[in-house]
A and B are shown apart, each in its own frame.
Chain A
């Protein structure tokens, strides 16, 4: 059976780092799935950001739906230099991000992300990168902290055929 769900890259931090970059992403798949499992080194709730192809222009926007255990809410931001993909707090943080049709060169790129921390929040995020470029790199960063040692990110390529 042909494999249609293929690991492209995986990285586990040996020490704290401000960014995690997955580069040289081939254009041979249909969609991408990123699985994030990790923490920050601030010991406080931090926003996790995602940027494509190192584009720091204000070409990103997102809308989120979240529940913190007592109330549900929604928020968004527009024309920003990177998109939110999940809150990161505690070693139990897991985010699964699906980036559809990432290699096409005619449409802007949309992603869906599910951020999870059983101690803080569960979230669904839709993000947009207003670029028709094929995605060839992904960079993750945090608001005012580093990703903690042991943080693991794996990127899979999914083929439609």
Chain B
């Protein structure tokens, strides 16, 4: 029986950090993509930093709808016609040492000729009264191109050493 849940590539950030974690030359032979990543930012002066996602190095056409909780109440936000979409909250320099976020992003029909929707779940637990996040996101890249490149970036600072991301391909046959 063929394996239909396949690791395409994996990235681990080395000493010195990295501004991005990228997957290029993504083959079009799967049905869906799944990205799992664990990350932390070097951004100083804050507990949290935002990780962002772009496809094919495109800087337009993103929108999203976000639901998040920080330990006391739940809130919702949205953005439209953005140059990025949200990939999650990651701990930054002031967060508990050695603590990383965990995130999962599912992209169905990534190689099709329709706009690209995604589902993203993200958690950051920081043993803090205020700076913890659980986020759920619906995202859309209004572009009919097949996704061949996927890039995660930090809104501030770099991804620190030991941040990791793995890209999986899922086939429906």
Taking beta carbons and an 8 Å cutoff, which residues of A are in contact with B? 1-7, 10, 35, 37, 65-74, 91-96, 114-124, 152, 154, 156
Contact = CB atoms under 8 A, between A and B. Distances in A.
B106 A94 contact: yes
21 contacts: A1-B3, A3-B3, A3-B5, A5-B3, A6-B1, A7-B171, A66-B67, A67-B66, A69-B76, A69-B78, A70-B76, A72-B68, A72-B74, A92-B115, A94-B117, A94-B119, A96-B106, A114-B119, A121-B138, A122-B67, A122-B138
A114 B76 contact: no
Interface of B: 1-5, 31-32, 63-69, 73-78, 106, 108-109, 114-115, 117-119, 121, 136-140, 170-173
A72 B67 contact: yes
Contacts, number: 126
Among A73, A116, A118, the one with the most B-chain Cβ atoms within 10 Å of its Cβ is A118
A67 B65 contact: yes
Contacts of B73: 72
Given A7-B171, A68-B76, A92-B115, A118 B140 contact: yes
A159 to B, nearest CB: 11
Given A10-B173, A94-B106, A65 B76 contact: no
Q: Give the dominant DSSP class at B's interface.
A: strand
Nearest to A1: B3
Contacts of B5: 3-5
A117 B73 CA distance: 22
A122 B2 contact: no
A37 B112 CA distance: 12
A114 B173 contact: no
Contacts of B109: 37, 152
A7 B1 CA distance: 11
A107 B55 CA distance: 43
Given A10-B173, A69-B76, 16 more contacts: A6-B1, A7-B171, A10-B172, A35-B172, A67-B65, A67-B68, A67-B75, A70-B77, A71-B75, A94-B117, A114-B119, A116-B65, A117-B65, A118-B117, A118-B138, A124-B67
B31 A154 contact: yes
A11 B69 CA distance: 35
A154 to B, nearest CB: 4
Given A37-B117, A118-B138, A122-B138, A65 B170 contact: no
B83 to A, nearest CB: 15
Nearest to A115: B138
Contacts of B140: 92, 118-119
Contacts of B108: 35, 37, 94, 152
A123 B109 CA distance: 20
A119 B65 contact: yes
Given A3-B5, A69-B77, A121-B138, A96 B117 contact: no
Nearest to A158: B5
Nearest to B79: A69
A154 B115 CA distance: 19
Contacts of B64: 118
A93 B172 contact: no
